[in-house]
Structure 1
Amino acid sequence: MKENYCLQAALVCLSMLCHSQASTLERRSHLHPSFHGHHDRGKEGQVLQRSKRGWVWNQFFVIEEYTGPDPVLVGRLHSDLDTGDGKIKYILSGEGAGTIFVIDDKSGNIHATKTLDREEKAQYTLMAQAVDRETNRPLEPASSFIVKVQDINDNPPEFLHEIYYANVPERSNVGTSVIQVTASDADDPTYGNSAKLVYSILEGQPYFSVEAQTGIIRTALPNMDREAKEEYHVVIQAKDMGGHMGGLSGTTKVMITLTDVNDNPPKFPQSVYQMSVSEGAVPGEEVGRMKAKDPDIGENGLVTYNIVDGDGMELFEITTDYETQEGVVKLKKPVDFETKRAYSLKVEAANVHFDPKFISNGPFKDTVTVKIAVEDVDEPPMFLAPSYIHEVQENAAAGTVVGRVHAKDPDAANSPVRYSIDRHTDLDRFFIINPEDGFIKTTKPLDREETAWLNISVFAAEIHNRHQEAKVPVAIRVLDVNDNAPKFAAPYEGFICESDQTKPLSNQPIVTISADDKDDTANGPRFIFSLPPEIIHNPNFTVRDNRDNTAGVYARRGGFSRQKQDLYLLPIVISDGGIPPMSSTNTLTIKVCGCDVNGVLLSCNAEAYILNAGLSTGALIAILACIVILLVIVVLFVTLRRQKKEPLIVFEEEDVRENIITYDDEGGGEEDTEAFDIATLQNPDGINGFIPRKDIKPEYQYMPRPGLRPAPNSVDVDDFINTRIQEADNDPTAPPYDSIQIYGYEGRGSVAGSLSSLESATTDSDLDYDYLQNWGPRFKKLADLYGSKDTFDDDS
């Protein structure tokens, strides 16, 4: 501090000396144009006069941080007009005037009253003026001047950061750049050496050095090892004044970390590892672990393990646990204590990554011996095969041998085993197993068509320890026997158009048929279609085998007529190719149908045929109903006449006509459709909007259908009526009767009348049957038609 004060005092004295000399100098006012007396030409010929400046002038300086007892003399202002009589007054204005800088208005001396800091403000601009003391009239124009604050070394260097962090790879070469540190000095760099810095290292030798001018830190020792020391604390100093004595200084800390390189190989801490494994262990089970240590970190410390030699290479494997960097020995295949009781492995540990420049240090791997002992356990029985497949023919008798399973105890004791079938399924009801030898037999005949494969499970348990058991799947295939005859693949039905005899036959089949066989394809790969021997020469149809498991049914003739026969049943024999072959007879239904001129099917119903012939269904129903009524009347009349002559028929309340009405009571129009089910009498054509005419007679005569036989002499009335109704349903020539139309179709308000044509109101006990005489010829015709002359005669 004494040195600083001395320096400051010397500078103050020097400054005062300079100012004293400057005040005695005659500084001409050529610095200000108004102070000279030269004449210049102005605008419009005006003569301008330049006045001479009267200031004695110099630039002023003041030392910063001056702390002396008296104010510091900055300088003195003096005018040529000042004769020393005190008539001139000096005035100071501008930055800091009156506060920092004060002036003696008589002598013009300027003093600094406060301590100045250059780093806060480097210079001040002031205005000076000389005026008449009495009148305050300016004697000269005001002029500005500068007071500069002169720098002293009062600021030490400061670093940008208090602590720097840097990394450098271990084993770096000497002189490797680590980091650059930078400091700054607030003093004036243009004045002296106050801001000239020099760097040096205070802590961190001999590992690091720093460049004095730049602040760059470099490595100073070769082969620095991270594994020996990872972090270093370095202190750097920056000193001003060029590092000379008396300069100010600042320091910073630098934390330098050595980064890892792969310069160390993995190393096992021991030369032999002992492990053991149970013979009951399953593949994939862990046997033991080992670890090769590598002082490197990160990927440089990653280690991989491999089995390179040993008699257990086929039974064991090793993997790497990258989280713990351990080698994990696992069982690859089951081991057997009775076969071999110990194994030896040679395991190698090597780095995953390595640096080629360090290979010269030696191989980056290490090996160790691993000895594994096999431990004995009580093992369950073992089947000689993992699964079994046996075969048996279907329909084989109960007790047939299917096959055999075999298991044994792998332990040295070789305990006997016993066999059983798993009872958790219902398949055990088909098979039994001999518990001692493992032979499997059937308990009942099997049907392949029901189940082709049967899967069971067989257990084998030690006789001395039932808990030690093994399980094996057994698949039993049921072999096919040709025990099913082929049948139609679908319920086939054929159709043929009725046609003339002269119409040529079509080459198209009526229907193409195929067959199905439940047996395996080996027992019937091809089906054979034919007609039975007894109808091989069927005049109507024939069967042609297509030799592709299908056959076509063809017509042998034309001229089929629904009037003669509208339905044919054709038996077809289907045989398979099994040994022995199986066959079945299947019936094909062939209908005779009506077709248009192009052979397009229209209808296969007999009703449609009659409609085409010109007679309506309604007419047939009316005729049949009338016949039924008449037959009932005749039967009642003849029966009562034979039993009693007079009266012929006696009823308590009503006569015969009324009885007839009661038998075929019409009802009240629509109401009779509600009271009786007459759907069977409805005309199908009427539903579709077409109602054939019922008031005309068909243009052709109906030929009796084949197969109708005369009724016997004595029949039951119900049977007789039902028979005649059935025949009348197929009679296209039956005439229409209004009374029957009323029964079948009339509703409320019918204009057809009623059965009152038979109604004859009478209260006499003698009944009049004259009206029946008109029906005699018709009964005769009906009897001739049906061939029953014994039942009806002219007298009836």
Structure 2
Amino acid sequence: MPERLAETLVDLWTPLIILWITLPSCVYTAPMNQAHVLTTGSPLELSRQSEDMRILSRSKRGWVWNQMFVLEEFSGPEPILVGRLHTDLDPGSKKIKYILSGDGAGTIFQINDITGDIHAIKRLDREEKAEYTLTAQAVDFETNKPLEPPSEFIIKVQDINDNAPEFLNGPYHATVPEMSILGTSVTNVTATDADDPVYGNSAKLVYSILEGQPYFSIEPETAIIKTALPNMDREAKEEYLVVIQAKDMGGHSGGLSGTTTLTVTLTDVNDNPPKFAQSLYHFSVPEDVVLGTAIGRVKANDQDIGENAQSSYDIIDGDGTALFEITSDAQAQDGVIRLRKPLDFETKKSYTLKVEAANIHIDPRFSSRGPFKDTATVKIVVEDADEPPVFSSPTYLLEVHENAALNSVIGQVTARDPDITSSPIRFSIDRHTDLERQFNINADDGKITLATPLDRELSVWHNITIIATEIRNHSQISRVPVAIKVLDVNDNAPEFASEYEAFLCENGKPGQVIQTVSAMDKDDPKNGHFFLYSLLPEMVNNPNFTIKKNEDNSLSILAKHNGFNRQKQEVYLLPIVISDSGNPPLSSTSTLTIRVCGCSNDGVVQSCNVEAYVLPIGLSMGALIAILACIILLLVIVVLFVTLRRHKNEPLIIKDDEDVRENIIRYDDEGGGEEDTEAFDIATLQNPDGINGFLPRWGLPTQRWEERNAIQTGCV
């Protein structure tokens, strides 16, 4: 309490003391280079005074000044005297009047025009305006004429400590990693003071911590906050509230202060290993569970957060490492145990696994604390389930010859019930895979028999599905694919690969290959096809042709002589016997048709018809066609000429007693339908007097008769 009273007295008396010190300096005699002299009088008097001044050495000037001071925030019952304007030219006769103008003249500052005293009539605030520029002037009291030019001076508002420090950006937030060493920098704060920083200590700030110790410290002048305790643990306390104070006057008594808060959050580092919630886990699973199904979850807790708490899970030991796997769930931060391979209760009823959880992100600063991992034991019990029958093989491949007897056994499938209480099995064929019902199966022993004959040439493979069903529980069924391959037997004789027709040139040479033929066999022998070719026994000594076996299993037919004549024989038939290499071998006879043709000198076939033989030798087919076209054109011209001439000689007018029908019949031509209607102009026959002339039309019966006669005589 006494200390508080002392501070109050100091605050009260400090402005008064400063005012007492300042007032004597408000009016003073400045050096020559700063003086402003005000004088009065006429120009003649001024000249005389100047003369006297030069005579007098070091004579005193009139009143002078440079700047004045006034204390801010000062208030009292009377206006504050800031300073006084005075000149030695004033004899005291009150003939000089002082005038004040400029910033705040008349409103803030008031002058006594007789004495020159300047008073502040309002309370001033340096933070609002630090200085005022005013102009002083001395004028004649009666005439108001200036005695000399006006002169400027400054009134400065002198600062007092009337503003407390402020933290403009507060409250503050900062983070620092947990387990940091002593003196780790956290952040820094800044306060501002509106007082004058160049005058006194009003704006000199000193920082301190009011709350937050002993965890943090602050540099008094720079306001840098640091850790004051080493190895602070986030898991023990994550957030701290620090109260910071800034005090002016250099922190001395009587200064003003301001405070702010800083919230410091410790960020996490990986300084804690994962830990399983329990050392032993128990799970049970049915033996028929689907592969990939989640059997159970294990979790290792970590006091850290974020990525520092992420752990990976692995199965490191146990008798079920091949059947089970564990994966990490990043969202739940636990390990999921899943089934990799099928379980069999009858084979093994329980498994033991050793699982491990290890941190993914390791901080080397804390590796000396030990391994950041933990282990736990997992026991998995397999529960019995009613399982479907199991075939002795996942697939079956059977073979049968295509000539196998009906009801003969092709093969057999077997299945068993894997459960402890074994159930009898019944077998059946899925008829959707055997629509033609070519096979049967014994329901008790699974023997497959042939129901209909097989033909390998129609179908080599038959794919059926066998169903095994438990007698005690018909819902437990299994299926197995059975592929039946039909084996070949030699039941097809070979024959020509296609319908061959050979052409023999009349001018051919002996030994010339007429045709090359190949054979085909629908059977499929294991060692491939090998054909034997021969002529019929009665054709062995054929005088015209012979055969030759080629290495590619084909046959070439050769001419024995030349001089074949198509007028004597146009076509030859050559029967060829083809035998395969089967056991027993099969054979067939195919006949090759050989036509004798006329060929060019280079062996190109030109014509194989007998009639073409009478054509002039040496003429090509194109030349013959051209000649024939010319003959036809010539005949057409002749027919037109004869027709026109005949019609010209006939009378133009038909007599009344003539019968038109007799004229038509006289042409002795068969009816031609539309051609007959075009042959005559009926209107002309009915009205011969109205016709000026008659022109015959193409297609008259006479013309057709002449054309027919020409054709019959061989002209066309």
How far apart, CA to CA, are the structure 1 residues paired with 2:533 and 2:227?
Answer: 106
- The one-letter code of the counterpart of 1:579 is N
For the pair 1:378 / 2:386, whether they are aligned, the reply is: yes
Corresponding residue number in structure 1 for 2:456: 448
Deviation at 1:422, TM superposition (A): 0.6
Of residues 265-274 and 538-547 in structure 1, the stretch that sits farther from structure 2 once superposed is 538-547
Distance in 2 separating the partners of 1:582 and 1:260:
93
Q: Which residue of 1 aligns with 2:161?
A: 153
1:537 equivalent to 2:541? Answer yes
Larger mean Cα displacement after TM superposition, 126-135 or 470-479: 126-135
Hey, what does 1:569 align to over in structure 2? 573
Cross-structure match for 1:11: 18
Q: What's the offset of the Cα at 1:146? A: 1.0
Partner of 1:304 in structure 2?
312
Residues 36 and 63 in structure 2, CA contact (< 8 A), matched pair in contact too? no
Aligned to 2:689: none
Q: Is it true that 1:364 corresponds to 2:368 in the alignment?
A: no
Moved runs in structure 1, 4+ residues, more than 4 A?
Answer: 26-35, 49-53, 605-619, 665-670, 746-752, 754-757
Matches within 5 A, 1:512-661: 512-520=516-524, 522=526, 524-606=528-610, 608-611=612-615
Asked whether 1:254 is paired with 2:258, we answer no
SS at match of 1:10: helix
Aligned to 2:19, the other structure's residue is in SS state helix
Distance in 1 separating the partners of 2:195 and 2:70: 16
Q: How many residues align?
A: 626
Distance 2:80 2:534 in 1: 149
- Secondary structure of the structure 1 residue equivalent to 2:134: strand
Output the CA distance in 1 between the equivalents of 2:611 and 2:62.
Answer: 156
Tell me if the contact between 2:456 and 2:488 (Cα under 8 Å) persists in the aligned partners.
yes
1:498-530 deviation digits (Å, cap 9, x = unpaired): 32xxx64574x3333333332225264333444
For structure 2, the 5+ residue unaligned runs are: 1-7, 40-52, 629-664, 679-697
Pairwise mapping of residues 734-749 of structure 1 onto structure 2 (< 5 A)? 748=700
Given the two structures, how large is their TM-score scaled by the length of structure 2? 0.81
Q: Can you list the C-alpha shifts for 1:585-636, whole angstroms capped at 9, x where unaligned?
A: 33333333333333333344455445556999999xxxxxxxxxxxxxxxxx
Rounded Cα–Cα distance in structure 1 between residues aligned with 2:572 and 2:84:
156
CA displacement at 1:150 relative to structure 2: 0.8
The aligned residue for residue 108 of structure 1 is 116
Q: Of 199, 203, 207, which aligns to 1:199?
A: 207
Partner of 1:714: none
* Pair 1:26–1:462, CA change in 2 (3 A): closer
Change over 3 Å in CA distance of 1:592–1:93 after alignment to 2? farther
1:587 and 1:481 map into 2 onto residues whose CA distance is: 26
After superposition, what is the alpha-carbon deviation per residue over 1:98-123, rounded to whole angstroms, capped at 9, x for unaligned?
Answer: 22222111111111222222122211
1:609 to 1:81, Cα distance in 2 relative to 1, 3 A: farther
Q: Do residues 60 (structure 1) and 38 (structure 2) align?
A: no
- Identity over the aligned pairs, expressed in percent? 61
Inter-partner Cα distance in structure 1 for 2:414 and 2:677: 82
8 Å CA contact 2:217–2:226 kept in 1: the answer is yes
Deviation at 1:754, TM superposition (A): 4.9
For 1:290, the equivalent position in structure 2 comes to 298
SS in 2 for 1:472: strand
2:430 counterpart (404, 422, 425): 422
Query: Quick check: 1:123 aligned with 2:131?
Result: yes
Q: Secondary structure at the match of 2:14?
A: helix
Query: What displacement does 1:322 show?
Result: 1.9
Other-structure match for 1:190: 198
- Equivalent of 2:84 in 68, 76, 79: 76
Instruction: Summarize the Cα distance change of 1:101–1:333 in structure 2 as closer, same or farther, 3 Å threshold.
Output: same
Aligned residue type for 2:559? A
CA drift of 1:267 comes to: 0.9
CA–CA separation in structure 1 for the residues paired with 2:37 and 2:526: 138
Amino acid at match of 2:353: L
RMSD (Å), alpha carbons: 3.2
Shift of 1:196: 0.8
Supply the AA of the counterpart residue of 2:334: E
> Aligned-pair distance for 1:471?
0.9
- Corresponding residue for residue 319 of structure 1: 327
- Secondary structure, counterpart of 1:329 in structure 2: strand
Partner of 1:275: 283
Structure 1 counterpart of 2:557, one-letter code: V
Q: 1:335 to 1:30 in 2, by over 3 A?
A: closer
1:180-215 deviations in Å (ceiling 9; x for gaps): 111221211111111111111122222111111111
Instruction: Identify if the C-alpha distance between structure 1 residues 752 and 468 changes in structure 2 by more than 3 Å, giving closer, same or farther.
Output: closer
Preserved CA contact (<8 Å) 1:481 1:523: no
Counterparts in 2 of 1:531 and 1:132: CA distance versus 1, 3 Å: farther
> 2:36·2:65 contact (CA, 8 Å) conserved in 1?
no
Q: Which amino acid aligns with 1:7?
A: T
Structure 1 residue aligned with 2:470: 462
1:735 alignment partner in structure 2: none
**Inter-partner Cα distance in structure 1 for 2:160 and 2:609:** 137
TM normalised by structure 1 equals 0.73
- Cross-structure match for 1:165: 173
Deviations 1:94-145 (A, max 9, x none): 2222222221111111112222221222111111111112222221221111
CA distance in 2, matches of 1:281, 1:418: 25
Deviations 1:627-655 (A, max 9, x none): xxxxxxxxxxxxxxxxxxxxxxxxxxxxx
* Contact 1:668–1:748 under 8 Å retained in 2: no
What residue identity is the alignment partner of 1:17? P
Amino acid at match of 2:239: E
CA distance in 1: counterparts of 2:488 and 2:700, whole angstroms: 71
Q: 174, 185, 190: which one pairs with 1:177?
A: 185
**1:187/1:389 Cα in 2 relative to 1: closer, same or farther (>3 Å)?**
same
Query: Which runs of structure 2 are paired with 1:689-728 in the superposition (5 Å)?
Result: none
After TM superposition, give the deviation of residue 428 of structure 1 in Å: 6.1
Aligned partner of 2:185: which letter? S
CA distance in 2, matches of 1:148, 1:316: 90
SS in 2 for 1:255: strand
Q: Structure 2 CA distance, aligned partners of 1:253 and 1:408?
A: 80
Return the alpha-carbon distance in structure 2 between the equivalents of residues 306 and 318 of structure 1.
6
**In 1, distance between residues paired with 2:346 and 2:94?**
135
Between 520-529 and 328-337, report the one with greater CA deviation: 520-529
Cα 1:748–1:346 change in 2 (3 A) is: farther
1:393-413 deviation line (CA, Å, top 9, x unaligned)? 112111121111000111111
Whole-angstrom CA distance in 2 between matches of 1:672 and 1:415 = 99
Cα distance change of structure 1 residues 504 and 141 upon mapping to structure 2, 3 Å threshold: same
Per the alignment, in what secondary structure is the counterpart of residue 419 of structure 1? strand
2:637 maps to none
Query: 1:712-758: per-residue Cα shift (whole Å, max 9, x none)?
Result: xxxxxxxxxxxxxxxxxxxxxxxxxxxxxxxxxx955664745999x
Residues 745-789 of structure 1: CA deviation (Å, up to 9, x unaligned): x955664745999xxxxxxxxxxxxxxxxxxxx9xxxxxxxxxxx
The AA in structure 2 aligned to 1:16 is L
- Native 8 Å contact 2:38 2:62 kept in 1: no
